[in-house]
Amino acid sequence: MFFKTYSSFYTLLTMSFFKKIFSSEKKEILDKGLEKSKTNFFSKLTKAVAGKSKVDDEVLDNLEEILVASDVGVSTTLKIITRIEKRVASDKYLGISELNQILREEIAGLLSETNTGESSEFIIPVDVKPYVIMVVGVNGVGKTTTIGKLAYQFKKQGYKVVLGAADTFRAAAIDQLQIWADRVGVPIVRQEMGSDPASVAFDTLQSAVAQKADIVIIDTAGRLHNKINLMNELSKVKRVMQKVVADAPHDVLLVLDGSTGQNAFEQAKQFTAATEVSCLAVTKLDGTAKGGVVIGISDQFQIPVKYIGVGEGIEDLQVFNKLEFVDSFFK
């Protein structure tokens, strides 16, 4: 009895210890990833408030410009400015030294009001097998890389994963997914370049069912040159998958390249109009000054940002947490 209690206490202790190490590591990677965005934002802000002692109209005008220039987006910027104006009105005097703290609080407040709730990693119901995730987005945004990182996380959690190379548009796309599959150690279903993406998706699901796999991730080619084509292609892939798994896909993950700033917004608009998207991943937040785009995207779309990409490595995919993100940005 004593031993049992002691050992479960010990397990708890080590678990929380590792959790702490993990979360502080995650935080460090996020802080580092957002460095460029922060430097860019705060150097502008410092210039804008030089010689000022309180938050006045001029400071707010400058702040508005800086937020827009940081890719937060016009409509989200206006909401933030309105909130700060209200605060200035009620507090009478807001010192410049408090501006940072206020920005952090108001943006966190704004994002916590969005109705997408707290985002979390994919939750795989035990009675759904295989759970099918279709990944969409334009060429180069980081779909294949994100799939590799996700497969790695799922595998680590003990799930049996199968990948489907339904981006058959370029040979390199198929090979790249193969490289990730080998690296993670999960099976991949592929066909020749140029073959029908729907047929690859069909094969992948059949193979996953036969192998009793838990999760299937389907890579697709997102050619946006024509919305109707894109819509038709994605609905065909879905329709064909449903011949094997009736309610597939269970999730459609749209990948956006955060380093393209406003372009990412545009792509989100076009894809959500062309197909049902259930969640978002914003990649390449490391090495860009446009990290503010995540704030705008999570404010403006009714779809949760589930993941952010903060590097090219296998570990560099994080579950997006609004408050952690704002905290890291305004620290």
Binding site for ligand GDP (CB under 6 A): 137, 139-145, 176, 283-284, 286-287, 309-312, 316
When CB distances are held under 5 to 8 angstroms depending on the partner's kind, the choice from Mg ion, ligand GDP, none that residue 322 binds is none
Residue 102 or 285 with smaller CB distance to ligand GDP: 285
Smallest gap, in angstroms, from Cβ of residue 143 to ligand GDP?
A: 3
Smallest gap, in angstroms, from Cβ of residue 146 to Mg ion?
A: 9
3-state secondary structure of 100: helix
In whole angstroms, how large is the CA radius of gyration of the chain?
A: 22
Residue 218 or 245 with smaller CB distance to ligand GDP: 218
Smallest gap, in angstroms, from Cβ of residue 159 to Mg ion?
A: 22
Contacts by 184-192 with C-beta closer than 8 Å and gap 24+?
184/148, 184/151, 184/152, 184/155, 184/314, 185/155, 186/151, 186/155, 186/161, 186/162, 187/162, 187/163, 187/211, 188/162, 188/163, 188/164, 189/162, 189/163, 189/164, 189/165, 190/164, 190/165, 191/165, 192/168
Place of tokens 């140029």: 194
Smallest gap, in angstroms, from Cβ of residue 144 to Mg ion?
A: 3
Residue 292 or 309 with smaller CB distance to Mg ion: 309
Question: From residue 132 to residue 171, what is the string marking binding to Mg ion with x (rule CB under 5 A)?
Answer: -----------xx---------------------------
- Cβ–Cβ under 8 Å, residues 264 and 258: yes
CA distances from 257 to 61, 113, 133, 266 (A): 29, 25, 19, 11
Residue 176 or 260 with smaller CB distance to ligand GDP: 176
Distance of CA 192 to the CA centre of its chain: 30
Q: Which residues have a Cβ under 8 Å from the Cβ of 292 and sit 6 or more positions away?
A: 37, 41, 67, 70, 71, 72, 329
Residue 59 or 317 with smaller CB distance to ligand GDP: 317
Residue 150 or 245 with smaller CB distance to ligand GDP: 150
Smallest gap, in angstroms, from Cβ of residue 273 to Mg ion?
A: 22
Which residue of this chain has its Cβ atom nearest to Mg ion in the complex? 144
Smallest gap, in angstroms, from Cβ of residue 140 to ligand GDP?
A: 5
When CB distances are held under 5 to 8 angstroms depending on the partner's kind, the choice from Mg ion, ligand GDP, none that residue 141 binds is ligand GDP
Q: Any contact of residue 200 with Mg ion (CB under 5 A)?
A: no
307 forms beta bridges with: 281, 319
Residues in contact with Mg ion by the rule CB under 5 A: 143-144, 173
